[in-house]
Amino acid sequence: MNEWINNLRPILSSEVFLLMLCLGSFLLGVLIYKKTNISLLQPLLITMVIIIPFLKITGIEYKTFYENTRILNFMLGPSVVALGYVLYDQVGHLKGNLFSILTAVLVGGIVGIGTVVIVAELLGANHSLVASLAPKSVTTPIAMNLAEKHGGVSSLTAIFVVVCGMFGGLVGPIILRKIGVKSKIAKGLAMGSSAHALGTARAMEMGALEGAISGLAIGLMGIMTALLIPFAEKLLF
């Protein structure tokens, strides 16, 4: 068995195979998610549950995997840019809501950064871990940038961003239902500002307006977080 794997490793760690594995696992994830309708079974989570054991068993290092699937990671940038179109498409719904949207995201930013920093510190996290956690609610490229600037570890932040996004995407719709939020704008805004692109993916399932507002919230939360973290660092770190 081991020799088998050793012989196959060059092809198993090739770009074509790993990319195929990523897309294939994700497709399977989508299929399972749609068939079971269990929100815990997010496609991304299923993909991770398939790929991490695969890499462990075949002895392929994460670094190799990351380098050979870099194109997917790169696409995070263009996908944020593309939200500009979604926003344009839905701009009519923003009329008269600009002030409330900015206020809501600002409050969300203060609550989000404040609580993550305080809870982590109370539970004994050190400075670099706290700085890596602080920008968790914003999309990866922004979060990594901010973490590094304030003494965090950017690759840890990338993970926190994913975990936060999956968690927010998972519980977001449930919480919004529980507290009885009806407004589509409020729903989209809450999903995007708490769970960035992964929250937006769930918001898109709710509807086009929720998705577009959620996309807008990614950008706004990015800006607010960049503005708020320096203050948070002075007050709380």
What does DSSP assign to residue 91?
Answer: G
**Helices 140-149, 76-89: crossing angle, 10 deg rounding:** 120
* 28 contacts another protein (rule: CB under 8 A): no
CB distance 214 to 206 below 8 Å:
no
Of how many residues is the chain composed? Answer: 237
CB 236 → another protein: shortest distance, Å? 12
Burial of 64 (0-12, 13-18, 19+ CB in 10 A): middle
Q: Tell me whether residue 8 or residue 119 sits nearer to another protein (CB atom).
A: 119
**Which residues fall within 8 angstroms of residue 169, CB to CB, at 6 or more apart?**
42, 191, 195, 198, 199, 201, 202
Q: Tell me whether residue 168 or residue 233 sits nearer to another protein (CB atom).
A: 168
CB 4 → another protein: shortest distance, Å? 22
Count of residues touching another protein (by CB under 8 A): 110
CA distance 162 to 99: 29
CA distance 218 to 192: 5
CB 39 → another protein: shortest distance, Å? 13
Binding letters toward another protein, positions 29-68, x by CB under 8 A: -------------xxx--xx--xx--xx-----xx-xx--
Q: Which of residues 67-86 bind another protein (CB under 8 A)?
A: 69-70, 72-73, 75-86
3-state class of 204 per DSSP? helix
Q: Which of residues 91-150 bind another protein (CB under 8 A)?
A: 91, 96-97, 99-101, 103-105, 107-108, 111-113, 115-117, 119-120, 123-125, 129, 133, 136-137, 139-142, 145
Q: Which of residues 1-20 bind another protein (CB under 8 A)?
A: none
What does DSSP assign to residue 38?
Answer: -
Q: Tell me whether residue 13 or residue 139 sits nearer to another protein (CB atom).
A: 139
CB 23 → another protein: shortest distance, Å? 7
Q: Which of residues 139-198 bind another protein (CB under 8 A)?
A: 139-142, 145, 155-156, 158-168, 171-172, 175-176, 179, 181-183, 185-187, 189-191, 193-195, 197-198
| Torsion, CA 223, CA 186, CA 215, CA 137, rounded to 10 | 50
DSSP 28-78: HHHHHHHHH--TTS-HHHHHHHHHHHHHHHHT--HHHHHHHTHHHHHTHHH
CB 7 → another protein: shortest distance, Å? 24
Q: Tell me which residue of 25, 131, 7 sits closest to 69, measured CA to CA.
A: 25
Q: Tell me whether residue 13 or residue 201 sits nearer to another protein (CB atom).
A: 201
Q: Tell me whether residue 32 or residue 48 sits nearer to another protein (CB atom).
A: 48
